[in-house]
Structures are given as C-alpha cells and as structure tokens.
Copies of this chain bind each other. A is one copy, B any other.
Amino acid sequence: MKLLQSVRLRDSAASLEFLAEPLIRAALLEDIGHGGDLTTEAIVSPERTASARIVARHAGVVAGLPIAERVFAALDQRAELLASVSDGDRVGAGALVAQVRGGARAILTGERTALNFLCRLSGIATATRELVDLVAGTRARVADTRKTTPGLRALEKYAVRCGGGSNHRFGLDDAVLIKDNHLALAGSIHAAVVAARARAGHMMKIEVESLDQLRQALEEEIDAVLLDNMTPEQLGEAVRIVDGRLLTEASGGITRDTIAEVARSGVDLISVGRLTHSAPALDIGLDVDLSSG
C-alpha cells in the first residue's frame, strides 16, 4: 500500500478544482436542505473531531478524490483528506482509498455528497478503463460523447481521462460535428461544410456523420468522419476507403463484447455514450473510525 498523501488532481491542479466549486456547493445545499442535518446536529457535539476511512467495496479505478476532499473542506476548513491512491489508480475490493480527518459533524454531513461524486466518477473511470484495456494493441482510442449528466460534464469527462479514455467535444461550441439531423436540414454535405468552415474559427475541427456518402465526404475540407452504427466489416471497408486522409470514428451501441472487433477494423476512435450515461457507480463507502474523537 502506498503511503497516505495529500490529494492532487490528476491532470488539473487549478482549473478543474475551480470549475467544480459551484457544483460541490450546490450538491451540499441539495442534501442539507433548508433545515440542516438534523441527525448529526442532534447527536454530535460541534467540538468533536473524528477520522474516517474511505474504502472501496468493489474493485475499480478511482476518480474524484480532490472533489471529495473539497466537499469536506467546504464544511470544515480544517478537514483534510489523505489519499492512499491517486485518481486513475486501480484499487481492489476492500482497499483503503483515503482517510478523512476533521470535525465529526463535517464528516457525517458531507459523507453522502462526497461519496455521490466519488462513486459516480469512479464508476465512469472503471467502465472506461475496461474498454481501454480491451482495445490495447490497436490504434483505436476510446472516447466519450456529449451524453453526460446535466451539470456534471466537466467532471465526467475528467473521469473518462482518469480511466485512460480520450475526450470528444466538450460542447456545441468547441468543434463542428455535422450529424444526420443537420444534413436532413442542410441538403448536401458540401453546403454544410462550406457554411461550417465560414462560421467556425480556424482552430475548429469539422467532423461529418457519413454512412453511405463516405466518398462524397472525402472531397470536403473536413478533419474526421463519424461512422455510426456500422458492422466491423463495414467499418473496415470504410477505413480502407478513407486510407488515412481523415480521422475515422466508430460509434453506436458498442459494448465490451464488440469493442475489440470494432477496434481491429482500424478506426482511430471509438466513441461510447454509455461511459457516461450508463456506467454503474463504483461502490465506495465511508466508515467512521471507532477509536477516533
């Protein structure tokens, strides 16, 4: 077991923590309500301090430790979280993830909110890591989508990175992705790409969802092509046609059972909505140390 250490965000010491602050505050207000934590205030004296162990009940990949740390710190400035692993690390069932020390009220009042963040983000990291491992040895990267939980996109995309995945667009404003519904209204790929090129800045990439019109797409000034709901055979054929001229992205109902074969088709990217919309939470719990206080 690694020595306990103060937590540190995996790839974002300043900006992610800054972005998460209002989310943490809103989550605590949602749980505390307008009346306060009745149970804790009734039972635990404000002077009481405690320590608690955050323990993985199942094996998985941890993500969100600095968020958990900030939850407790929002309630008690002196609270500290000492981690025995880092975001992105694998843990086994029963492993000690971190220790929290601080006011006993802050630990009990913050427990559920901290775990709600930690379990969800670790669930996403765990699901991502599973798929990333399944495509190891191919050129394919596993990417997320915009199918994220309303309000939590920045954190969920961070969890995907903790699991070894790659981030697709953050939102509608940082890349152009011309999908079927756009083409239904635009008429032709060509017209759509020309308009997008004029509107988007020079730092914006353009991707087109193109199934039967792949050859047509290759004639446009685009950066990537989205190959939606294709079989591995169709994907392999598409990769041969593209021949490295564009980045190829497979998507559509890809699961742990099919991803390896999809990856072997030669696509550059496999985007998987369920990383964020359907990953089960990783079971992580908090046990107050009986000898504490």
Decide if A38 touches B182 in the complex (CB within 8 Å).
Answer: no
> A174 contacts which of B8, B174, B184 (Cβ < 8 Å)?
B174
Q: Which residues of B contact A150 (CB under 8 A)?
A: 23-24, 26-27, 30, 113, 116-117, 120, 151-152
Is A104 engaged at the interface, CB distance under 8 Å to the other chain?
yes
Stretch at the interface among A39-47, A90-98, A236-244: A39-47
Max chain B C-beta neighbours (<10 A), residue from A75, A104, A166, A169: A169
Is A136 engaged at the interface, CB distance under 8 Å to the other chain?
no
Decide if B169 touches A201 in the complex (CB within 8 Å).
Answer: yes
Decide if A224 touches B202 in the complex (CB within 8 Å).
Answer: yes
- Closest-by-CB residue of B relative to A106 is B14
Decide if A19 touches B32 in the complex (CB within 8 Å).
Answer: yes
Decide if A41 touches B23 in the complex (CB within 8 Å).
Answer: no
Is A137 engaged at the interface, CB distance under 8 Å to the other chain?
no
Interchain CA distance A180-B288 in the complex, whole Å: 9
Decide if B173 touches A170 in the complex (CB within 8 Å).
Answer: yes
Is A63 engaged at the interface, CB distance under 8 Å to the other chain?
no
Is A112 engaged at the interface, CB distance under 8 Å to the other chain?
yes
Decide if A277 touches B119 in the complex (CB within 8 Å).
Answer: yes
Q: Which residues of B contact A168 (CB under 8 A)?
A: 201-203
Q: Mark A220-237, 1 if CB is under 8 A from B, else 0.
A: 000110000000000000
Interchain CA distance A33-B11 in the complex, whole Å: 16
Is A83 engaged at the interface, CB distance under 8 Å to the other chain?
no
Interchain CA distance A119-B110 in the complex, whole Å: 29
Interface of chain A residues 123 through 156 with chain B (CB within 8 A): 123, 141, 143, 146-154
Interchain CA distance A43-B187 in the complex, whole Å: 10
Decide if A178 touches B75 in the complex (CB within 8 Å).
Answer: no
Is A251 engaged at the interface, CB distance under 8 Å to the other chain?
no
Interchain CA distance A50-B184 in the complex, whole Å: 10
A-B contact list, 9 entries, CB within 8 Å:
A14-B75, A16-B36, A19-B29, A35-B170, A38-B173, A123-B278, A167-B201, A170-B174, A181-B287
- Residues in A lying within 8 Å of B, measured CB to CB: 8-9, 11-16, 18-19, 23-24, 26-44, 46-48, 50, 52, 74-76, 103-106, 108-113, 115-117, 119-120, 123, 141, 143, 146-154, 157-158, 161, 166-182, 184-186, 191-192, 195-196, 198-205, 207, 223-224, 247, 249, 268-269, 274, 277-278, 280-281, 286-288, 290, 293
Other than the given A33-B173, A39-B196, A143-B201, 15 more pairs (CB < 8 A) read A11-B42, A14-B106, A15-B36, A15-B109, A15-B172, A27-B151, A30-B34, A34-B170, A35-B167, A37-B173, A43-B195, A123-B278, A166-B202, A169-B203, A202-B249
